[in-house]
Structure 1
Amino acid sequence: MNPINGTADNDTLYGTEGNDSILGLDGNDILVAGPGLDTLDGGAGDDQFYSRTTNMAATFDDGANLVIGGAGNDRFVGGLGNDSASGDDGDDIFQGEAGQDQFSGGTGDDQLFGGVGSDSLSGGAGDDTIDGGADDDRIEGGTGHDSLIGSSGNDYLDGQDGDDTLIASTGLDTLIGGAGNDRLYSRTQTDTGDDGANSVDGGAGDDSFVGGLGNDTAVGGTGHDTLQGAEGHDRLVGGDDNDELHGAEGNDTLEGGDGHDLLAGGADDDSIVGGAANDTLIAGPGLDTLHGGDGDDAIYSRTTDLASDFDDGANLASGGAGNDLFAGGLGNDSVSGDDGDDTLQGEAGEDRLTGDNGHDRLFGDEGRDSLDGGAGDDTADGGADDDRVAGGTGHDSLIGSAGNDYLDGQDGDDTLIASTGLDTLIG
């Protein structure tokens, strides 16, 4: 190793054809690696490092220096080779080029740019800005409030600690927010999955995710998360706390998790699952399927045809124990309750409402509706138009209202009330 040493002044030092050790010392130095395998140490000043066609190992001292120590704000410019550079206390700038570079920022507020090649970039302790550039990069923010950008390629972005912003781009990117309150964005690529490749995982904080053109999968984690899909067929998973999920365009799957969640479908045909707590589920204009879960849920249909199985109340799947509320929309809605005492409210469409095991209240409203109370002591009112109303096995109250209705009390001691139409009553 050929030693090349500067002075306490501002030096410009060039490497030779061989393998050099270049030491700048105290001044604001410019260190230029040669064609060999060189090691550059700027020293304490605000130094600049340049790699031409070499593989260079550089430690940015207190900024953009090569060895540990110093307090400078340094700049590193890589070359065609595979460069390695580490900062320290300063606010350093790392600029890679064609090689597979490894940059570590240190404790300052650093800027790292990978350039071409599959790079490994780590911000360190400061509030860093990191852009992987072309190819498949691995980017780690560190402990500060960092901004991580995937750019082109299939990138892995991990914000780690701090309130971070992670932006995916054109590749199949993996985004992990970490422990802070993070914002995650998907622009034009496909993001998928929590465990494995191509994931968006918010982590422990209160996170925000905005999807892109691809089919995104976002997992919020343990905080109070807001997940927004976009144009693809997205899967949004809220996690343990009280989350807000919005499907947007595409056939989306929304899963709220354990908290008291708000889940809203988008423009197309969505599957919406609330979870264990008391959730609010809102269908969009598509043909949506809603499952509230075990809690006391409120399920709303706006302008859609809705297939909904009210789980122990107003839920979609079997099981659960909630007392749920369903409010229908303009479409033809199909709703089934379970063990809870549920309220099922149709609207303008030809609705099918089934109460199941609880003491349920069913209201058909407009349209030719089919109402079935199920096993509990139910109240069922067909509403306008010609309805078919069945009581089930409990002691039920059936009301015909307007229209020519068919009322069948079935088992139990029932009360059947005809109204203005030509009704048929079977006790």
Structure 2
Amino acid sequence: DNFNVDHVWDVITEASSAGTDSVQSAVSYALPANVENLTLTGVLNLDGTGNDQDNILTGNAADNRLFSGLGRDTLSGGAGDDVYSIVTLQTSSTFDDSYLGLDDAVIEAADGGTDTLIAYAYSAVIPVNIERFILKPFESPLNYANNDVTRYITGNASDNYIDVSDTLSSDIGFTNTVRVDGGIGADTMIGGDGKTIYVVDNPGDVVIELGLFLDGHASSDDDRVESYIDYALGSFITELTLLGNAVSGTGNGRDNLIRGNASANTLMGAGGNDEIYGDAGADTLLGGSGNDALFGGNDSDSLSGSEGNDVLDGGAGADILAGGIGNDSYYVDNLADQIVENGGEGYDTIASSISYSITDQSAVEALTLSESGGSFRSATGNTLDNVITGNSSDNALDGGLGDDVLYGGFGGSDDYSGFGRNSGHDIIVDDTSNDPRLTEYDFVSFSPTEDIRIDDLQFSRVGEDLMISISATSSIQVKYFFQAPGFEIARFGMYYQGQYYGYGASDIKALVNGINSAPAQNRFLEAQIFEVGRPVNYQLAPNAFVDAQTPDPDALTYSATLSDGSALPSWLVFDEATRTFSGAATADYTDATFEIRVLATDAQGLSASSTFSVRVDPRSVRGTEGNDILNGESASTEYLYGLGGHDVLNGGAGQNILNGGTGDDIYIIDNDTSFANDDPGEGYDEIRSSVSYETGSYTEKLVLTGTAAINGTAAGSVPLFLRNDAHRTEQPGRTQRRVRKISRPGRERVLLRARLRIADQAVDPEVRDVDRELVVATLESVCDVDAERWPPQSRELLAVERHGRELTDIAEIENDATAASGCCERSCVSRGSGEVANAGLALRGPVG
């Protein structure tokens, strides 16, 4: 449908999806719903406004204002000075990267007047033939939650007028940047609060930074001009970066950050405290007034600080550095660097990464060796009162003439030199931490051309400092020289008639302190027990010996030998610096004892000594409080300690001492040089021995194993068991039994000899042979066993055992499981009984 409107009260109603509809209007008009196109007619200056559809808005020959709606609109103003106002689809308060430019199209003829585009957009490229562009904020502030965002506004070939000053209200946190590039024309770019970057490429470009206050927030003061031409910053701009072939850049009265390019730049800071970087090329950097920091690039640069306390670092290349008035700091990395400093212009310092001398710098007061660079470096002063500072490497420091202070730095071995009869009153601070060390050794050297002897010097002590008087006009104050436990200046050297004479720190201290006193033992050296194979770590107390010299005791040195003066065993090492014995005793020193002599010597050679004894015990294996299995690990003597729990201790091939500790323990003995050591009340313990063995009083059970003919001797009430075919067991003071096995096909023949005691009456039965299977004979009256459990042929013997005092015969009992289990159970064996087992049979008898 086509509609003609000529009155502001005309009403158009159109259904949705009813085709593409157009309005011809002679008055300002806003499209109603569902109508797509609007054409302004007549000669009046009219406004046209779109809706949610994708509209085509067309102006007349007058000056129109066309407002896009929410669709993707096409706006064409025609002749006249038209104003286009468009909004992108950006409607959220959180930025969406999918909206990178304008969603609407603006069509403007080349001769269509001076036209203005007002855009509510993230970024925009100004359409052709649009001369003026105004960036507006969104109604809802943009929230760039994840990172800072740069918005790009790019002009066209015309002389653009670009205004981005009204954007701050849509920037939450003021962290986002608007970058304005007007294009090749002579553009006018206007910014406000917030960070704005202006690209300048035409001498006719004008940058206006309003620097206003908006919503109570002041200008951020970090706006930047990126210029392809020589440029001088205007007011409110703080940063300047040269691009392309630009050569010169000039700051303003603010604190500027100016960066050059690959050209040979001339960069000037003017007023303010500026930072200026030259980059590549042979640059000239001028700081101007203020405290400026000037940094050259990779070429030979010229840096001038002018006024203020400036920092000048030429970088690589042979640079010329001139600080001017103020307390300036110079950084030097090339011997060809030149320092230009006039007297009376302040207190100036050079920091050098190379060996450096300021003898030709008559106006520089301080020289510092930086940590970067080679391992050894030297620093030499001039005729002024210098402060020379070393670093953590080895340094050679010479203050030259004047009253100098030399700091050696922490670490490294330093050489302080150049002291003579007219070198001034100097101070050496050998350790800036005031914490003397004994690992590096420093030297004080007197001039080799002045024939200074030690007799020419006067030494004295002031507090912890050493004072050396050379002449009325020269002296050295060595700070902290007498500070305990010692100071790291180790030697003083001087030359007389070409001959070098060296004196140790102890010599100088002796000259100051007088007669030396010998060290003395201060603490008793305790006897030590080492163990075979176990690491030794025995350290003498730091005050085991003390130097009696006062008020400045010497640092002591230590040595150790055997008491007869011979060397320590090869496995034992003594560290003199830490006073520590270390190593591990070898097996051939098992059970050895010897004495060690420790010698403490002072700096003058006087000494004191003391000895302590050492015993080497066998190797030990220790268990835990749980149930452990411990095995000996060598053929040498070992101790095995089970500690708590039910343990199994197997000594192995060596000479072993087994101690199970608490719990029910088992000891395995397989040679006659090992024995089990048990204590009372520590559980039910069992010894299993494959060699002849005699128990102690607190072992509950002895078992003889293996196949050899061996003896077993049990003390007190220890039960005896036979587990092989040829054993001899004895229980002194108790029932004596001798068992001998005689082989016979299909049977066993055992000769039983017994001397038995029933209650308190001894009975010596007749010795007889039993040519049949020997089963069990029970003679222990205290074994309370139900007689019904025994086979019939043994009941008579049991009755005699319990009730009678005479024994007239030895009962013969069949070898069956019932008999074997009768009173052989461990629970039936009461204290005071002994047991011998052979081939599953048991013989029990009372204690004699």
TM-score by length of 1: 0.61
Question: Which amino acid letter does the alignment assign opposite residue 182 of structure 1?
Answer: D
- Please give the residue correspondences for 1:20-419 in structure 2 after superposition, counting only pairs within 5 Å: 21-25=45-49, 27=51, 30-33=56-59, 36=61, 38-43=62-67, 45-46=69-70, 48-51=74-77, 54=79, 56-60=80-84, 76-81=106-111, 82-85=113-116, 87=118, 95-98=126-129, 101-108=131-138, 112-126=153-167, 130-150=180-200, 155-161=205-211, 179-182=219-222, 184=224, 186=226, 189-191=228-230, 198-200=231-233, 203=236, 207-213=238-244, 214-219=246-251, 221-223=253-255, 225-234=256-265, 235-237=267-269, 239-241=271-273, 243-256=274-287, 260-274=291-305, 276-309=307-340, 316-317=341-342, 319-321=344-346, 323-328=347-352, 330=354, 336-338=361-363, 342-344=365-367, 359-361=385-387, 377-379=402-404, 414-415=473-474
Question: Which amino acid letter does the alignment assign opposite residue 361 of structure 2?
Answer: S
Name the CA shift for 1:284/1:111 in 2 (closer, same or farther; >3 Å). closer
Name the CA shift for 1:363/1:107 in 2 (closer, same or farther; >3 Å). closer
Question: Which amino acid letter does the alignment assign opposite residue 270 of structure 1?
Answer: D
Name the CA shift for 1:272/1:201 in 2 (closer, same or farther; >3 Å). farther
Question: Which amino acid letter does the alignment assign opposite residue 115 of structure 1?
Answer: N
What displacement does 1:140 show?
Answer: 1.1
What displacement does 1:39 show?
Answer: 1.1
Bigger Rg, structure 1 or 2: 2
Question: Which amino acid letter does the alignment assign opposite residue 303 of structure 2?
Answer: I
Name the CA shift for 1:111/1:264 in 2 (closer, same or farther; >3 Å). closer
Aligned identity (percent) is 18
- Please tell me whether the aligned partners of residues 203 and 229 of structure 2 are also in contact (alpha carbons under 8 angstroms): no
Question: Which amino acid letter does the alignment assign opposite residue 302 of structure 1?
Answer: D
What displacement does 1:209 show?
Answer: 4.4
Q: Distance in 1 between matches of 2:104 and 2:211?
A: 25
Q: Distance in 1 between matches of 2:31 and 2:84?
A: 18
Q: Which residue is 2:694 aligned to?
A: none
Unaligned runs of at least 5 residues, structure 2: 1-24, 89-101, 143-150, 169-177, 371-375, 391-397, 407-413, 427-443, 451-470, 477-492, 499-848
Deviations 1:367-419 (A, max 9, x none): xxx9986xxx44499x99xx9x9x89xx677xx9799889xxxxx97549996
Deviations 1:246-268 (A, max 9, x none): 22212223344555543322112
- Please tell me whether the aligned partners of residues 200 and 226 of structure 2 are also in contact (alpha carbons under 8 angstroms): no
Name the CA shift for 1:49/1:276 in 2 (closer, same or farther; >3 Å). same
Q: Distance in 2 between matches of 1:351 and 1:305?
A: 16
The residue matched to 2:45 in structure 1 has which SS?
strand
Q: Distance in 2 between matches of 1:92 and 1:83?
A: 22
Q: Distance in 2 between matches of 1:421 and 1:14?
A: 111
Does 1:8 pair with 2:26? no
What displacement does 1:24 show?
Answer: 1.0
Q: Distance in 2 between matches of 1:129 and 1:76?
A: 22
Relative to total residues, which structure has the larger strand share, 1 or 2? 2
The residue matched to 2:338 in structure 1 has which SS?
strand
Name the CA shift for 1:258/1:415 in 2 (closer, same or farther; >3 Å). same
Q: Distance in 1 between matches of 2:43 and 2:446?
A: 95
- Please tell me whether the aligned partners of residues 197 and 223 of structure 2 are also in contact (alpha carbons under 8 angstroms): no
Unaligned runs of at least 5 residues, structure 1: 65-71, 164-177, 192-197, 310-315, 365-369, 407-411
- Give the root-mean-square deviation of aligned CA atoms: 5.4
The residue matched to 2:282 in structure 1 has which SS?
coil
- Please tell me whether the aligned partners of residues 260 and 279 of structure 1 are also in contact (alpha carbons under 8 angstroms): yes
User: Which of 131-140 and 327-336 deviates more?
Assistant: 327-336
- Please tell me whether the aligned partners of residues 355 and 361 of structure 1 are also in contact (alpha carbons under 8 angstroms): no
Name the CA shift for 1:146/1:350 in 2 (closer, same or farther; >3 Å). closer
The residue matched to 1:300 in structure 2 has which SS?
strand
User: Which of 87-96 and 111-120 deviates more?
Assistant: 87-96
What displacement does 1:231 show?
Answer: 1.0
Aligned residues: 362
Q: Which residue is 2:462 aligned to?
A: none
Question: Which amino acid letter does the alignment assign opposite residue 158 of structure 2?
Answer: G
The residue matched to 1:87 in structure 2 has which SS?
strand
Q: Which residue is 1:68 aligned to?
A: none
Name the CA shift for 1:103/1:218 in 2 (closer, same or farther; >3 Å). same
Name the CA shift for 1:185/1:105 in 2 (closer, same or farther; >3 Å). closer
Q: Distance in 1 between matches of 2:352 and 2:51?
A: 74
Deviations 1:212-256 (A, max 9, x none): 343141427534x54332312230427424x43322212223344
Name the CA shift for 1:304/1:120 in 2 (closer, same or farther; >3 Å). farther
What displacement does 1:118 show?
Answer: 1.7
Question: Which amino acid letter does the alignment assign opposite residue 6 of structure 1?
Answer: Y
Name the CA shift for 1:133/1:13 in 2 (closer, same or farther; >3 Å). farther
The residue matched to 1:42 in structure 2 has which SS?
strand
Q: Distance in 2 between matches of 1:269 and 1:422?
A: 47
Name the CA shift for 1:115/1:270 in 2 (closer, same or farther; >3 Å). same
Name the CA shift for 1:202/1:94 in 2 (closer, same or farther; >3 Å). same
User: Which of 106-115 and 135-144 deviates more?
Assistant: 106-115
What displacement does 1:157 show?
Answer: 3.2
Q: Distance in 1 between matches of 2:261 and 2:334?
A: 20
TM-score by length of 2: 0.34
Question: Which amino acid letter does the alignment assign opposite residue 232 of structure 2?
Answer: S
Q: Distance in 2 between matches of 1:324 and 1:301?
A: 13
Q: Distance in 2 between matches of 1:14 and 1:74?
A: 17
